[in-house]
Amino acid sequence: MVDLANLRDPVVIAAFAGWNDAAEAATGAVDHLIEEWNAELVTEIDPEEYYDFQVNRPEVGFDENGDRQLTWPTTRVYVAQPADTDRDVLLIRGIEPNMRWRGFAQELLEVVDESNAQIVVVLGALLADSPHTRPIPVSATSSDEALSASWSLEPSTYEGPTGITGVFGDLCGALGVPAVSIWGAIPHYIAGSPCPKASLALLSKIEALLDLQIPEGELPEMARAWQRGADELSEEDPEVAEYVHSLEEQRDTADLPEASGDAIAAEFERYLRRRNKNHPDTP
């Protein structure tokens, strides 16, 4: 069992299924990290106090030995210790609770406090007027002034209803642990299935902010398959195709100022780091 009190410069990455997780992009990103890093389950929340089982029903299935088992919906905490970095990662993969949000968040805060986490990254995804033919828009904000300054983050200007991601991030800040909120914008007209392209975009943002090497595994091919399916869907319906074209024009016009030398240089540096990691003998 991993000792949470002895983790190396730990960072927390959290995602919750439900209102905050359009097209399962956020939880898909954390699921990918759990699998690729072979993360170890260290604790899970007792679901009895926080979930309505008529809304989030338990599931029956078979385990790896072929034995029938019952799995309750809950929030689980994993620890990953990537071999190619000097820090450990606490991964929270959960479901937005149906009740007693403050008690739920407090249980997670106790884990964050015990681990001496330095930063909390909360992932989310929302439906937006975004064309599937362009890169998934990803935004990163923080209410922590020092972190915002060092990472060049924008302060959040959102006002309105929030989900468990907003509650958890806010309470982490109150605990003294700086929190970053990273959101991907999913094309609303094709959000009926999981979007690995968005999960990949969220992970790329995490990689850039934390300077953390993230294995992509099969995610790029899954993203390409999603892209092909979205292309076929839009080609089959002239009205959808016309709508996508209008979104492309709006997006391209809005993105023109972002095509700066600094943005291009930053992306090129990220590419070089990945290439040198995968091919250390390449000059």
Q: Where is the domain boundary, 201, 221, 236?
A: 236
Question: Are residues 104 and 45 in contact, defined by beta-carbon separation less than 8 angstroms?
Answer: yes
pTM of the model: 0.87
Q: Write out the H or E segment, with its range, that includes residue 79.
A: strand 76-80
What's the token pair of residue 259? 């095509």
CA distance 115 to 132: 39
66 part of a folded domain: yes
Percent of the chain whose pLDDT exceeds 70: 90
136 part of a folded domain: yes
Count CA atoms within 13 Å of residue 125 on its CB side. 31
Span of 68-77, 115-124, 149-158 with lowest mean pLDDT: 149-158
Q: Which residues of 124-137 are buried (b: 16+ CB within 10 A; e: fewer)?
A: bbbebebbbeeebb
Q: Average pLDDT for residues 210-224, to the nearest whole number? A: 93
pLDDT value, residue 42 = 95
Question: Are residues 73 and 97 in contact, defined by beta-carbon separation less than 8 angstroms?
Answer: no
Q: Are strands 40-44 and 11-17 parallel, antiparallel or unpaired?
A: unpaired
Close Cβ partners of 94 (under 8 Å, ≥ 6 residues apart): 14, 15, 16, 17, 45, 74, 75, 76, 164
CA distance 256 to 59: 48
267 part of a folded domain: yes
Same domain for 271 and 177: no
Same domain for 245 and 201: no
pLDDT value, residue 272 = 60
Residue 211 pLDDT grade (very low, low, confident, very high; cuts 50, 70, 90): confident
32 part of a folded domain: yes
In the 8-state DSSP scheme, what is residue 137?
A: P
CA distance 61 to 144: 43
pLDDT value, residue 252 = 81
Residue 5 or 200, more confident: 200
pLDDT value, residue 192 = 81
Question: Are residues 207 and 213 in contact, defined by beta-carbon separation less than 8 angstroms?
Answer: yes
Same domain for 191 and 252: no
Question: Are residues 2 and 74 in contact, defined by beta-carbon separation less than 8 angstroms?
Answer: no
Same domain for 212 and 244: no
3 part of a folded domain: no
Residue 223 pLDDT grade (very low, low, confident, very high; cuts 50, 70, 90): very high
Tell me the per-residue pLDDT of 35-55, one tens digit each, with 9 for 90 and over: 999 999 999 999 999 999 999
Same domain for 61 and 29: yes
Close Cβ partners of 3 (under 8 Å, ≥ 6 residues apart): none
Inform me whether the pLDDT recorded for 249 exceeds 70.
yes
Same domain for 160 and 85: yes
Same domain for 75 and 144: yes
What's the token pair of residue 59? 């599931």
Same domain for 265 and 232: no
Inform me whether the pLDDT recorded for 258 exceeds 80.
no
Q: How many CB atoms lie within 10 A of CB 223?
A: 19
Q: In 3D, which of 181, 126, 113, 175 has the Cα closest to residue 151?
A: 181
Tell me the per-residue pLDDT of 145-200, one tens digit each, with 9 for 90 and over: 888 998 889 888 888 889 999 999 999 999 999 999 999 999 999 888 899 999 99
Same domain for 161 and 50: yes
65 part of a folded domain: yes
Query: What 3-state DSSP class applies to 181?
Result: strand
Domain at 182, CATH number = 3.40.50.10900
154 part of a folded domain: yes
Inform me whether the pLDDT recorded for 275 exceeds 90.
no
Tell me the per-residue pLDDT of 18-40, one tens digit each, with 9 for 90 and over: 999 999 999 999 999 999 999 99
pLDDT value, residue 266 = 55
Inform me whether the pLDDT recorded for 245 exceeds 80.
yes
Query: What 3-state DSSP class applies to 115?
Result: helix
6 part of a folded domain: no
pLDDT value, residue 267 = 52
pLDDT value, residue 85 = 85
Same domain for 241 and 190: no
Number of domains in the chain: 2
Query: Which residue carries 């975004």 as its tokens?
Result: 130
Write down the mean pLDDT value for the chain: 89
Q: Average pLDDT for residues 229-236, to the nearest whole number? A: 90
Q: Average pLDDT for residues 54-80, to the nearest whole number? A: 93
Residue 279 pLDDT grade (very low, low, confident, very high; cuts 50, 70, 90): low
CA distance 47 to 50: 5
Same domain for 257 and 226: no
Inform me whether the pLDDT recorded for 123 exceeds 70.
yes
CA 267 to chain centre: 20
Same domain for 200 and 71: yes
Domain of 58, in residue numbers: 11-236
